[in-house]
Structure 1
Amino acid sequence: MTFSIHPEQLQQNLVQVLGEQVSEVALSLGEVSIKVPAANYLSVMQTLRDAPDCKFEQLMDLCGMDYSTFGEVGTDGPRFGVVVHLLSVSLNQRVRVMVLCPDDDLPLVDSVNHLWNSANWYEREAFDLYGIVFEGHQDLRRILTDYGFIGHPFRKDFPVSGHVEMRYDAERARVIYEPVSIEPREITPRIIREDKYGGLH
């Protein structure tokens, strides 16, 4: 039976193994998170997979992030990032890795698909929804939106109703694209409470 080490010990192990390649190894709420510069991302991920004190054999999740509203809460920095969750089955430990894309106009980081093949669809999803490019990915194309889709719908500046809508036209016997015909409207929910609801008089 494998027992997990304490998060504090994992934090110390990662600081020792990764050294100056990372900008932060933080412990919060019993979880260890690593912040890594984009230039070191690939080598750090390789180390996390292969180093004896790490052995993170599984990539559990990878997602894009849009931090464009961080300025409103006093945080500066690049707009786009990638967050990865890794699991070591053999050592029963987990870690979160965060990397920021240096260029907001062309958000780009290295692909880790050749390290963990589970990254394939996750990286395609982040590319599709956020426009983050994963350099070295062998098949980087949209995975959730249509081939003719314009834009990246999880970016915070993407309109809620989108730009175009598609439908099947029976007369033309094909799918056609048209400008969005949804008229914006505000719906205010009506709240009905019974007498003495929740002990109120």
Structure 2
Amino acid sequence: MTTKLETLEAALRNALGDHIQELTVALGEITIVVKASNSLAAMRVLRDHADLRFEQLIDLCGVDYSTYGDGAWDGLRFAAVTHLLSIRHNWRLRVRVFAADDELPVVPSLCDIWPAANWFEREAFDLYGMLFEGHRDLRRILTDYGFIGHPFRKDFPVSGYVEMRYDADQKRVIYQPVTIEPRENVPRIIREENYGIK
């Protein structure tokens, strides 16, 4: 008797064929890796193929693998990771698409396939500097428009270089060099045997 996961794996291999670079099954989930150059065709198959019908994009995020596995990672640095849902078949799938260039990470936009990708792609652009080719309105969504850098990259400085505050005299937001001294936070440890028990 085949399990639901085995049925999904067989359907993926049948429908996508050579589009799949890697398929892993772990912790009750399937993750596939697709080349950026083939990703739009593969995503359309995932959405439209009768055996798959991943009609909903649940999430899309950027990932910086530069320090993954304590620096043991030996692959491309940036990936767009998409989580899809098939309501018809009650299946979930993770699709990983690596950007071919670490210096200028570009992957195709999924907005024409799943319009819900719009804000997710803007977030990945803002926080990781990933470009989504074909996105009609790729601009920052969480950081200020004048913000320099991408704060979720592993090489982004932890403290930053400037801080932003509102100046009441100038009646505007101003930027100034960081004035906070670096410090180590030591957590408070409670060692009472019956703490929290009444």
**Deviates further, 74-83 or 60-69:** 74-83
Amino acid at match of 2:170: R
- Of 127, 148, 166, 1:168 maps to 166
The answer as to whether partners of 2:79 and 2:97 remain within 8 angstroms in 1 is yes
The answer as to whether partners of 2:56 and 2:85 remain within 8 angstroms in 1 is yes
Give the aligned partner of residue 137 of structure 2: 139
Three-state SS of the structure 2 residue aligned to 1:46 is helix
Three-state SS of the structure 1 residue aligned to 2:125 is helix
Number of equivalenced pairs: 193
**Are residues 195 and 123 of structure 1, via their aligned partners in 2, closer, same or farther at CA, if it must alter by over 3 Å?**
closer
Task: Determine the C-alpha separation between the residues in 2 that align with 1:192 and 1:177.
Answer: 39
Question: 1:69, CA displacement in angstroms?
Answer: 0.7
TM-score (norm 2): 0.92
Give the aligned partner of residue 126 of structure 1: 124
Amino acid at match of 1:133: L
- Of 162, 167, 176, 1:178 maps to 176
Residues 74-85 of structure 1 mapped to structure 2, 5 A cutoff: 74-85=72-83
Task: Determine the C-alpha separation between the residues in 2 that align with 1:178 and 1:67.
Answer: 32
Structure 1 unaligned residues grouped into runs of 5+: none
The answer as to whether partners of 2:127 and 2:153 remain within 8 angstroms in 1 is yes
Question: 1:196, CA displacement in angstroms?
Answer: 8.1
Q: Deviations over 1:69-127 (max 9, x none)?
A: 13745320111111100001112111110011111110000000111111000000000
Identity of matched residues, %: 61
Give the aligned partner of residue 39 of structure 1: 37
Question: 1:42, CA displacement in angstroms?
Answer: 1.0
Task: Determine the C-alpha separation between the residues in 1 that align with 2:85 and 2:194.
Answer: 50
Amino acid at match of 2:163: E
Q: Give the alignment's Cα RMSD to 1 decimal.
A: 1.6
**Deviates further, 59-68 or 83-92:** 83-92
Give the aligned partner of residue 110 of structure 1: 108
Structure 1 residue 98 corresponds to structure 2 residue 103: no
